[in-house]
Amino acid sequence: MNQFNIAVLAGDGIGPEVMQEANKVLDAIAQRFAVSFTRNAYAVGGYAIDTEGEALPANTLQGCENADAILFGSIGGPKWDTLPLEQRPERAALLTLRSHFDLFSNLRPARIYPGMEHLSPLRADIAASGVDVLVVRELTSGIYFGQPKGRDGEGEEEYAFDTMRYSKREIRRIAVAAFEAAQKRRGKVTSVDKANVLVTSRLWREITEEVAQDYPSVELEHIYIDNATMQVMKNPAQFDVMLCSNLFGDIISDECAMMTGSMGLLPSASMNEDGFGLYEPAGGSAPDIAGQGIANPIAQIMSAAMMLRFSLNLPEAADAIEQAVVSTLEKGVLTGELLPANERSRAATTAQVGDEIVRHILNQE
C-alpha cells in the first residue's frame, strides 16, 4: 500500500475549520484508493506565536522538511497585525516557507464549471462563455522579497521603500512553468506586466519572448496589469494561462477566484523544481467569518486534490475529489457566500459541505 507523509499546518482563522474537512476528504480517499496518509499537525502563524512564541517554530519547519508535501490552511488576523512586519505570521511563516523550499511556481486554477454559472457574480452571458483560467504566479521573488526594504529619514521626509527585483533566471523558470502548463491546456500564455513603466517588466517581457521561442505551439501575448484586471471582468474566456509576477499574481488571482463565485473556491499549488509542494487556498484566514462554521471548505479540499496530483502522483484520487466537488455544487449544497442574500437560510455549514463531498467520493464508481 502506498503510504504518504503529509505535514498539516492549519494556521489561523478559518484555517482549522476548513482543514478539518480536507482531512475528512483525505480519509475517504484513503479508504477508496487503498492508500495511507500519515498526517502530522504542526503549529504555524498567529497560533504558533501564541503557543510557541514564533510564527514558524523549528519543529514545524523540521516536520515540513520530513514530509512528502505540506497542506497549509491560512494564517494571520487582526490579533497579530500590529507586530513588526518581520514577525507577522504572513512574512515570518508563509513567506519564509515559500522561500525556504524555493516554491517559486504558484498555480491557481479558476474555473466556472458548466452549469455553475449562477454562482458567478459576472453577467450570465459572460459567466457562460467558458471561463477556465490558470494563474501562474512567481512566488519567491519580486517586490515581496526584494532587498533593500525599510524606512529612513525623519519627520515629514521619512520614507518607506520596497525593492521590485527579478533576475533573468527567476523570470525564465516561471515562464517555462507557464508555457509547459499552456501546452497541456489551450495553448495560450498571457503575460501580465507593467512594461510601460517598470524596468523589471521590460526584462520580464524580454525573457518571456525568449522562452516562447521554445514553445512554437503556444501563443504568447502581453497585457498591462491594469488592463488585465478589467479584461478579466469583461471577457475572461480570452484567457488560458496568465503568467504573473508575485504582486500582480496575488492581486489578479483574488479577482479570478471571485469570478467563479467565491474566494473560498480557489485552491493553489506552490512548487519547487523537484516537485515538492505546499498546497493552500488562495484566500486568507477570513477573520470576518472565522469561528462560525460557515467558511467554504472547497478551496482547501481542492488544494488537497492538487497535492495528490502534483506531489503524490495520485491523479485518479485527485480526479475523484474534483468530481465530488462538482457534484456537490451541482446538488446545491452551498455555503452562504455562494447564495443570494434572500436564500442564505438554506446555506450549508462548512462541515455539511465536507460531508457531502465525502459521500460523493465514497459512492463514485
Ligand X SMILES: NC(=O)C1=CN([C@@H]2O[C@H](COP(=O)(O)OP(=O)(O)OC[C@H]3O[C@@H](n4cnc5c(N)ncnc54)[C@H](O)[C@@H]3O)[C@@H](O)[C@H]2O)C=CC1
Ligand Y SMILES: CC(C)CC(=O)C(=O)O
* Catalytic residue set: 144, 194, 226, 250, 254
Taking the complex as a whole, how short is the minimal distance between the CB of residue 336 and ligand Y, in angstroms? 23
Residues 234-263 binding Mg ion (CB under 5 A) are 250
In the block, residue with C-alpha cell 501563443: 219
CB 275: neighbour CB atoms within 10 A? Answer: 12
User: Which of ligand X, Mg ion, ligand Y, none is residue 95 near (CB under 5 to 8 Å by kind)?
Assistant: ligand Y
Nearest residue (CB) to ligand Y, 147 versus 345: 147
Taking the complex as a whole, how short is the minimal distance between the CB of residue 9 and ligand Y, in angstroms? 14
In the block, residue with C-alpha cell 522579497: 145
Residues 41-100 binding ligand Y (CB under 6 A) are 90, 94-95
Q: Is 138 a binder of ligand Y (CB under 6 A)?
A: no
- Cα 327 versus chain centre, distance: 22
Q: Which helix (H) or strand (E) holds 329?
A: helix 315-331
Nearest residue (CB) to ligand Y, 250 versus 322: 250
Contact 172, 227 (CB under 8 A): no
Q: Is 12 a binder of ligand Y (CB under 6 A)?
A: no
Contact 142, 165 (CB under 8 A): yes
Contact 236, 131 (CB under 8 A): yes
- The single residue among 21, 117, 193, 250 that binds ligand Y, judged by CB under 6 A, is 250
- The single residue among 16, 57, 76, 277 that binds ligand X, judged by CB under 6 A, is 76
**Nearest residue to 97 via CA among 144, 149, 34:** 144
> Does 206 show up as a binding residue in the annotation?
no
Residues 278-307 binding ligand X (CB under 6 A) are 280, 283-289, 295-296, 299
What lies within 8 Å, CB to CB, of 359 at 6+ separation is none
> Does 268 show up as a binding residue in the annotation?
no
Q: Which three cell numbers stand for residue 167?
A: 533576475
d(CA 237, CA 120) in angstroms, rounded, equals 14
Q: Site residues (CB under 5 A) for Mg ion?
A: 250
Q: Site residues (CB under 6 A) for ligand Y?
A: 90, 94-95, 250, 282
Q: Site residues (CB under 6 A) for ligand X?
A: 14, 18, 74-77, 90, 94, 262-264, 280, 283-289, 295-296, 299, 337
